[in-house]
Amino acid sequence: MKITVDRERCVGAGQCVLAASDVFDQSREDGLVELLEPEPSEDRRAAVNEAELICPSGAIEIQP
């Protein structure tokens, strides 16, 4: 799986970090999403899917 994030769409809610903190973080400068692991292992799929679903701005996209 491959993950992309749209920082321009991000509103800094931090839900992605709560769902998958080893894949996402928030910038200390502006609070927006930072992608730590653009191609996480399959064992992280459930957490990454949750992050995508709960992102209020739809800034996360998962590709197979």
Q: What is the CATH number of the domain that holds 46?
A: 3.30.70.20
Amino acid at site 20 = A
Q: What does the alpha-carbon distance between residue 8 and residue 14 come to, in Å, rounded to a whole number?
A: 15
Mean pLDDT for 44-53 is 98
Mean pLDDT for 44-56 is 98
Mean pLDDT for 4-15 is 98
Q: What does the alpha-carbon distance between residue 13 and residue 19 come to, in Å, rounded to a whole number?
A: 12
CB 14 within 8 A of CB 27: no
Mean pLDDT for 24-49 is 98
Mean pLDDT for 6-16 is 98
Provide the pLDDT confidence category of residue 64 given band limits of 50, 70 and 90.
Answer: confident
The residue range of the domain holding 28 is 2-63
Kind plus residue range of the DSSP H or E element containing 17: helix 15-19
Domains held by the chain: number: 1
Mean pLDDT for 39-53 is 98
Mean pLDDT for 35-56 is 98
